[in-house]
Structure 1
Amino acid sequence: MFPFFLFQDPTTTATDGGEVVPEEVSFSLIEVIFSGGPIGVVIAVILLLLAVMAVYILIERYLTIKRAGDLDENFMAQIRGFVQTGDVESALALCRQTNTPVARLVAKGLQRIGKPLEDINAAVENVGNLEIFQLEKRLSTLATISGAAPMIGFFGTVTGMILSFMNMAGGDVSTEALAGGIYQALITTAFGLFVGIIAFIGYNSLIASMGRVIFKMEAATVEFMDLLQEPA
Structure 2
Amino acid sequence: MVLLSILQELPVEETVEVVEEMSILDLLFKGGYMILPILLLSLVGTYIFVERILNIKAAGKTPDNLMDEVKQLVVNGKISEAQTLCAREATPIAKMLEKGISRIGNPLRSIEASIENVGKIEVYKLEKNLSLLATISGAAPMIGFLGTVTGMIQAFMSIAQEEGAVSPKLLSSGIYEAMITTAAGLFVGIISYLAYNYLITKVGKLIHKMEYTSINFIDLLQEPQK
Q: 1:143 to 1:35 in 2, by over 3 A?
A: closer
1:8 aligns with 2:3: no
Where does 1:47-196 land on structure 2 (aligned, <5 Å)?
47-171=38-162, 173-196=166-189
Partners of 2:154 and 2:82 lie apart in 1 by: 69
Q: RMSD of aligned C-alpha atoms?
A: 1.7
Partners of 1:139 and 1:35 lie apart in 2 by: 31
Partners of 2:26 and 2:60 lie apart in 1 by: 45
Matched AA of 1:32: L
After the TM superposition, list the runs of 4 or more consecutive aligned residues in structure 1 that deviate by more than 4 angstroms. Answer: none
Matched AA of 1:121: E
1:27 aligns with 2:22: yes
Superposed CA deviations along residues 149-208 of structure 1, whole A, max 9, x for unmatched, are: 010111111111111211222235223432443133221111101100110000000000
Unaligned runs of 5+ in 1: 1-6, 11-22
Which among 204, 210, 213 is matched to residue 220 of structure 1? Answer: 213
Partners of 1:134 and 1:73 lie apart in 2 by: 22
Unaligned runs of 5+ in 2: 1-11
Q: Which has the higher strand share?
A: 1
| Matched residue, 1:17 | none
Moved more, 48-57 or 158-167: 158-167
Matched AA of 1:31: D
Deviation (angstroms), 1:28: 2.5
Deviation (angstroms), 1:89: 0.8
1 or 2 for the larger relative contact order (CA 8 Å, sep ≥6)? 2
Matched AA of 2:61: D
| Matched residue, 2:197 | 204
Q: Is the contact made by 2:75 and 2:224 (CA closer than 8 Å) also made in structure 1?
A: no
Partners of 1:108 and 1:149 lie apart in 2 by: 42
Partners of 2:220 and 2:17 lie apart in 1 by: 75
TM-score (norm 2): 0.87
Q: Which has the higher helix share?
A: 2
Percentage of identical aligned residues = 50
Superposed CA deviations along residues 125-165 of structure 1, whole A, max 9, x for unmatched, are: 01100000000101011000000001011111111111121
Q: 1:35 to 1:120 in 2, by over 3 A?
A: closer
TM-score (norm 1): 0.85
SS of equivalent residue, structure 1 residue 24: helix
Q: Is the contact made by 1:65 and 1:209 (CA closer than 8 Å) also made in structure 2?
A: yes
